[in-house]
Each structure stands twice: as C-alpha cells, then as structure tokens.
Amino acid sequence: MDIHFGLLSVAGVWALAAMSPGPNFLISAQATLLLGRRKGFATVLGIVCGTVIWGLAGYFGLSAVMAASPTAFVLLSIGGGAYLIYLGLRLIYGSLGSSGMGASLHEDIPSETSAWRRGLFTNLSNPKTVAFVGSLFVATLPAPTPLWVGLAAVAIMGVTSFTWYSLVVATLSWPQIQQAYSKAQHWIDATAGLVFIVLGIRLAVADLAAGA
C-alpha cells in the first residue's frame, strides 16, 4: 500500500470522525459560547492532546492490550461514561438556574489551563477511540508500518482535529451567534446536558454488558 495514499486516507477518515457530532464538539461549542474564544481554543488544544494520546496508543498497540483485558476496558468505559454523565448533569443543573450554565458546568474553569484540561478529559473519556485508531491504521497504513509513518499519521490526526474544532470555535465566536445563543441558552444547555447523559450511559452500559 502506498504510504502517501495511506496518510491521505487517515486524514480523510479522521476528518469525518471529528466532524461527527459528539462530546468533543459539544464541549468546544459550550466553552466558546459561554467563556469566549480564548477558552474555546484552549478547550480545542485539550481535545487535540487527547487525539494525539489516542493516536499514539493505537499505533503502539494499546488497543491490542485493552482487547486482551476486557475488564480494564470496561472499567475505563464506565469511568468515561460517568464523566460524561457528570458533565450532562451540570449542564442541566445550570439550565435550571437564573444565571445559566456559567454558575454550574463552567464555574470551575477560571483559566485557559482549566479549559484545556476539560477538553482533554472529555476526549479521553471514550476508550473505544483507541480501538478505532488501531483499526484505522491497520486498514490504511502499510505493514509493517515504519515509525515515522505512524508518527506522521498521529500528527495528521492532531492537525485535522485542530483545524475542525478551531473552525467550530471561530464560527461560534461571531456576535450574531453569541446573541442568538443567549436568547435560548437554558434550552440549549438542557438539550446538550441530555445528550451528554445519553452518550455517557451508552458508553458505560454497552461496554458493561459486553464485558459481562
């Protein structure tokens, strides 16, 4: 398999994965709408760091290790699901208050570092990503895969994620969108909270059932 075609395939597939609505999109969007562009981009950097970690794990075979230890995988999934449920509950709690989510989910994000950490933890909440990355590399990269090719693929994943989520932040930073959000903040926060909870339950329960 041609290396250049393989790397282009990694970029294309990962771009589609990044653009699929999920926790990473929600957390970057909420951070931007409530905390502004700087913390939105800090959240994106956290997401990108999580992408690089999953990419390296997929390349170096952690997916095989996790497949060989279903119990560890299930525990990680339960922990990740619990974190998403926590975020969802905070969103819903904030949507019920007069001050909105600024008094709940993001009251503990006083700095860009905190926003970065939340983006990182949100991305790392789904251990299924490492299995997806491992499968992606097997399907698109030549075997055996030279180290530089694997690292290039991980870098491409990071750049792709950064490009997409930066576009999300830049778009949601427009004053018109900020004004529209402020008018429907409670409903949007409550809906996003429910989505987080559903994703968290699906992540935890599905892998708990699979490991039973």
Distance CA 66, CA 115 (A): 29
Q: How many residues does the chain have?
A: 212
Q: pTM of the entire structure?
A: 0.79
Question: Tens digit of pLDDT for each residue in 12-38?
Answer: 999 998 988 788 998 999 889 888 899
**Which H or E element spans position 194?**
helix 185-211
For the chain, give me the number of helices (H) and strands (E)?
10, 0
Question: Tens digit of pLDDT for each residue in 132-172?
Answer: 888 888 788 877 778 898 899 999 999 999 999 999 999 99
